[in-house]
Amino acid sequence: MIDRRFLLLGLFGVLATPSLHAQTSVSDPAGIMTAIYTRVAKGKGEDGGNFVIADKAARAKYLSKALAAQWAKMDARTPKGEVGAVDFDPITNSQDPDVASFKVVSEKQEADKATIAVTITGHRLERKEQADNVIRYDFVRDEGQWKIDDIRGTVDGKPWSIRDMLAEFIKQTDKPKRR
């Protein structure tokens, strides 16, 4: 009888102990990115990360107010049926998402800003430029919560930034002022 009690007590202790894999919180930048990429890599990793930027509600959840406002301005200037400035999945840095695994690294974290680098590996293809496998996320504290303030990467070794893409689109679609 004593053996069963110890067995049950031990089992209860194991179940009550937080998972070792849950060392990062979903409320810190590395934890947020781990949660996002865990979802992205499910199945064959072909669904991508458009859920982060899909609509106004998603953007409010994941993006800083400033970046979400910039995105909304781009949306307002995009003709119906057109794509706008972001015509790819920035989360997977691709047109055709393919994520088998990922590695999240905190490059910099201060009290109110952070930079997280995520390196992705696909199932199907090897990218010519290894730098194209790394997507960087600049985070800011926005009303006490960590939010993505920019997404940066490279395509064929050439850098891109979501903020820069949105700003350029907005600039190009500015209506000339009447005199």
Beta-carbon count within 10 A of 11 CB: 10
Instruction: Give the confidence band of 1 by pLDDT, cuts at 50, 70, 90.
Output: very low
Report, as an integer, the average pLDDT of 74-89. Answer: 92
Mean pLDDT within 29-49: 92
Question: Please, what CATH class does the domain formed by 22-172 belong to?
Answer: alpha beta
Residue 125, pLDDT score: 74
Q: How far apart are CA 101 and CA 41, in angstroms?
A: 6
pLDDT classification of 124: cutoffs 50, 70, 90 = confident
pLDDT for position 126: 81
Spans of all domains in the chain:
22-172
Report whether pLDDT(116) > 80: yes
What does the alpha-carbon distance between residue 14 and residue 163 come to, in Å, rounded to a whole number?
45
Q: How many residues does the chain have?
A: 179
Cα separation, 28 vs 109, whole angstroms? 10
Q: What distance in Å separates the CA atoms of residue 175 and residue 172, rounded to the nearest whole number?
A: 8
Q: For the residues 140-146, what does the mean pLDDT come to?
A: 96
Is pLDDT at 133 greater than 70 in this prediction?
Answer: yes
pLDDT at 26 exceeding the cut of 90: no
When pLDDT is averaged across residues 18-26 and rounded to a whole number, the result is: 47
- What confidence score (pLDDT) does residue 128 get? 85
Q: How far lies 143's CA from each of 15, 72, 84, 140, 156, in Å?
A: 35, 19, 28, 10, 36
